[in-house]
Amino acid sequence: WQPEVDEFVCEKSAVEGKPKPELLLLVAQNCARVRHANHTRVSSSNSSWFTPVRRLLNGHQAWEPHWFAASFRAGKLCSRAIELIDEGHEQTAAFYAINAWGTEITDGVECCVLTHAPYCLDTSWFKHSIILRTPIGVLVLIFSLFCCGSGLLSFCDRIRGSLSTSDSKRLRRELRRLQGKLDTSKAPPNNPLFSSRCNQGSGLLVENKSASPLNGSGNTEALGESLRRAWIHGSCLRDLPHAKGFAASAADLFEELANRFDFQMDNARNQHEHLLSLWRSHCALVADRCLELGGTFSEEYLLAEALSDLHSNLLAGFSYWKAKLLRCDSGGLVDDGSMHPLAGAAWEHLPPSVCGPRCDAGVLSRQLAEIVAYLLVWGESGNLRFMPECVYFITELVLAASPRGMEELYGASNGDSDHRSGPRFLNDIVRPIYNVVFDEWYESMDPEKDRPQLRPGYNKFLPPDCSNYDDWNELFCDPAQLSRGLVLKGGDNLLFESPHAERFSVLTSVDWAFSLHHTFTKTHREVHSLWGIFASTHRIWLAHFLVFALVFCTITRSRLSQEEAFQNPVLGRTMVIRVAAIGLLVPFHSALWTMARIELISTASLRRALGCSCCLRGLAAGVMWTLPLCTYMFVRLMDDKHADNSTVTVGLVVHYAVSLIGVVLLLFFPARHVDTLWPKTPVPLRIRIVRYFFWLTLFALKYVLGLIIVQAVYQATEHLDLVVLDREDAREVYGAWSSGSWASASIQSALLWLSTYFLFLADTQMWFVVGCTYLGMVTMFVQRGCRVLKFASEDAIANIPALFVQKVLSGKAKAFPRIWDKIVEHMHYEDKFHSLFKGDMAYAGRSRMPKLFKQSKCGERLANTYCCLPNPTWPENKDVQWRLLALSRGLGLPMPRPFIAPYFPGLTVLIPHYSESVFLLKDRDLLFGQEETVPLIDWLTTLYKDEFQLFINRMQRGNLGEDANGDEALSAEEVKLWNDNGTQWEMYQEAEWDKICEWASMRMQTLYRTVAGMCLYHPALQCHYEANRYEESALAGKVWDVADCFTCLISMQRYKAFSKLEREHTNRMFGCLRHVGRSLKVAYIDNTFRVGGADARSASSRTARPQNMHNQQSRRYFSCLFDQSCQVDDEGWRQPIYRVELPGYPVLGDGKGDNQNHAIIFTRGSFCQCIDSNQGAYFEQMLLLPCALGEFRNSPDSAANGGMKQIIGFPEHITSDIGSIGD
């Protein structure tokens, strides 16, 4: 028998060019397959189970003679192959061997021409081959279309829009058409609703200057005198030296600015009060710095120094913004340091006698003018406060305004301007900008629900090119863009073409709809796609892939078999060439990042960036990113041609250099010029070193663990006979890609390695948490002086008195017993323990120390903690235990030096409220579902069983005397009502239920619990004043009032929509917290209706339509404030102290942020603590407030160095033992 070579299915080219060891291995593998197939057939045919199969097959085809013939020919081919090997013809031998299996045994279905998995390749396309390749092709096609469609096509459209000038003209025509529909000035003149000037004959309610107008504008002649009285008779600053001189200048300045620019009178009064609180707060900060230096301290010129300190702190951002404007050539601004024109305001400047030797009267007067102008503009800006640079811009124009042009803007007599259509600064300056903000997102107002309706398609999320506060604010951040971006109506002139002193009068002529259009202001597109995620997190992916690729190359560097050493695998034969392949990540990652940036870049950015310099930078970046690809191709080409080692070495050196530069640029220099608006926050070198060391350690740990994981996966890949691409020869891949078996093994291998990479990524968060935990422990021990043994063995509870005296009371040990008794009293009032235990915990006038603070041995504490031995001095209540331990832990850590009374800087706690319950109700909350399920009151009394019994006992005693919160004792009749009825709720009377509801409200997430907890600052500060104060201060004594240092401000957005029950609960909350006095305030949003509105309110709530009010809004909105001193009318409403009109509907974005924004003008002091209305507080923790405020201390030159502390985060402790969070 002679083989018929022409009938062979497996081609000879499959074995051509292979080294001798691989040819011999192919012969051995294929002939072994032939022998195994013959052995399997013989064994199966002799088995009893195969008999029925053979009978069945014999009935259909002569399968056995065909098999014997094929087996015979395959055996002959293998024998001939062995002979050819002996003769030295290994290539022909391998050709015969692969056909012995492929042509004869498998009948041409597959050819086993590979020495590694998958060994055999299909010879033709089959159904499973198509099925395997179709999803891959579809995915590749989808990804290509996604890249082109989402990135390149939209990018081309944006380039076309940035280069086209006709688009700007079309945009202007469209905006004019829309303004023609919305502009109130084009309404029919006989329609009184749209009249810009209202009179008695129009049928509207007309406001006159003699009455207190709704918009807060009133008789300006009485404003100055009322502000002087507020300072001299109502402010704690009145006893400081030279207070009258400062009071006269400040009041005169407020009056003149309110006259000249027509600010609202209530805004002026409110901001004057705000200025006094800021001034007092900075008096405390200046005095604190002087006391820290030691020696004698005089308050002779404290007001002058505090004013300078206030200016540098409050207007630090304004000064930085103005410095950029001064450096801009197109800004047209020159500042010679003289007094600002202020539209010709004639006010009494500060006399030199009040300023002292270290302060110049002219400089202080200028600083006072800047502060007052900024506060007035800021207080009337409404939603524009979300754009601080916009507020700075308007403030600068107010300061630089000259008298020329003001008469045309506000009328012939600024002081007697007609307020019937609203305050003109609000109407002419603020409202036009607000209207653009409203029109960007909303289409109309729902008259029934009083809510804005989003534009069509905006319900799920805003489009990528829709502008927001950040985009508009970026325009005002950049002086160069600002000077070119503010276009006047008509489109022929720019605002900055006018002299700087006349820009305020020209401000009303700015075409805000055109100037703030997203085509000119949008710098970053908020896309809802993976491109946005990748653009912001691309460095994370790159770093992980670099480490993973390095691990892979390390594992596979020595796993090339002897026969593979003669090949040229995909990743290369040597380790240096295999590692060089990692450099290909640079061009690949850069291409993806470029696509992401193309998707995110906006038309406005393209307008600014396109040009020759942009093209050159892009060309240079393209060359830089493609260099690693070019150098790698050169290295592989030289290696394939077996060039000189020196040539390959030079290529490798160049490749490694450009790849390393690319990686460094991508990882450590991610920002681009167009992305940077503000300089980076300065970070100390020590912290930067710790950060880099932390991440290097983390990735080193991941590298070590990755070696173990990747090695296991690599071994599993070999055992499963899957394709290992790094060991594949390029020629083999080219010939094998069409095989279904190769595709199947490749897909399985790819999925396995993708899963491995995902697991490699996933554990980064775990190691990050572990690393942070370790750093936290190290930091804690370093803070404690590395005294680990002392920390583990000391009695922290016994150290509370000494540490509290040292760190909180500045060494005043005599005051601690009285303060500790107040802490115990508050815990007792909260029903944490009974009266007998209270006597053991408190000093109660005795000289001996409570047993709680008695030093105990370490063995004792271990026995009490872990052996369950009872400790009679330790409270049984778990909450009290946690509070004592938290206090001891806090006192053991380093604390800033506390402020000394009365030099406490002002603090406002701002609590946003929408619909949370003030108090729990009997039927709606506590007994709801009583017949179907367990009511809430039963669950609470079970969870707080001991506390409820102590509460009943306290009520039966009648609260003898006043309790810790200032509540009065119960009357004799009320005491008789209280019986211990247990959980028989139907036995309690309504008066008893009121107290039960209060008790339950303090243990649930209610507004009353939060407000009552935050108001504990009031007695805490009073304790500090009584225990440790600077007696020589003029702020102590009769003028001392905690309300000057602390304000609890509740932003009740829905107060005017409250039901009668909600109003009663609000007034009841004020009654329960009456001991805090005027420290507790409520801000809310009020509104009035235009005449003809659908709402049937009284005529007193209807006003004329203000000028420039948005046509879609039928109401005028006001920020109002009231406190306990405000009278309550017959319906339960409290009359407001201040009523500041807003430019329009205030809740345009996030409800919580807008709720805080409208109320922030009523904050007092330098610091604001923003919390949610679901938190509580403890008295002993509130006593640490003077130390906590010490975190904000800044050196006098910190503002110039950019190191001022503005935001400090404090941890929120979750003390609940309910649910997974509590666990």
Averages of pLDDT over runs of 10 residues in the chain (1223 residues) are 76 82 87 82 53 48 66 87 88 88 81 80 63 68 66 56 50 52 38 30 30 41 88 92 94 94 95 97 93 81 94 92 91 87 91 87 95 97 95 96 77 45 86 94 85 88 88 91 90 88 92 90 84 88 93 73 57 83 91 85 73 74 87 86 80 93 87 69 85 92 92 85 72 66 78 89 91 88 78 86 94 93 94 90 86 85 78 89 91 90 95 92 85 85 92 77 52 61 85 91 92 96 93 89 95 92 94 93 88 43 69 91 92 93 92 93 95 89 94 68 73 65 44
Looking at residue 122, its pLDDT comes to 74
CB-CB contact of 380 with 263 (8 Å): yes
pLDDT of residue 912: 94
Q: Rounded to an integer, what distance in angstroms lies between the CA atom of residue 297 and that of residue 283?
A: 13
Please give the Cα distance from 838 to 818 (Å, whole number).
14
What does the pLDDT read at residue 1198?
57
pLDDT digits (tens, 9 = 90+) for 603-629: 777 776 666 766 777 788 888 888 999
User: What pLDDT is stored for residue 15 in this prediction?
Assistant: 84
State the greatest distance between any 2 C-alpha atoms of the chain, in Å, as a whole number.
127
Question: What H or E segment, with its residue span, contains residue 1089?
Answer: strand 1080-1090
Could you tell me which residues are beta bridge partners of residue 446?
451
Joined together, the tokens standing for residue 837 give: 């235990």
**Alpha-helical runs (H) found in 235-294:** 243-261, 265-293
Residue with tokens 């009109």: 1141
Q: Which residue has the tokens 């094929």?
A: 70
Question: How confident is the model at residue 11, as a pLDDT?
Answer: 84
Burial of 279 (0-12, 13-18, 19+ CB in 10 A): buried
State how far Cα 516 lies from the chain centre: 25
Closest to 273 in 3D by CA, of 231, 223, 327, 238? 231
Are 227 and 254 spatial neighbours (Cβ–Cβ below 8 Å)? yes
User: Can you read off the two tokens belonging to residue 632?
Assistant: 């790698």
Q: Where are the alpha helices (DSSP H) in 107-153?
A: 127-146
Residues 307 and 279: beta-carbon distance below 8 Å:
yes
Check: CB of residue 841 under 8 Å from CB of residue 852: yes
pLDDT single digits (tens) 282-334: 999 999 998 887 767 789 999 999 999 999 999 999 999 999 999 988 888 88
- How many Å apart are CA 565 and CA 727, to the nearest integer? 10
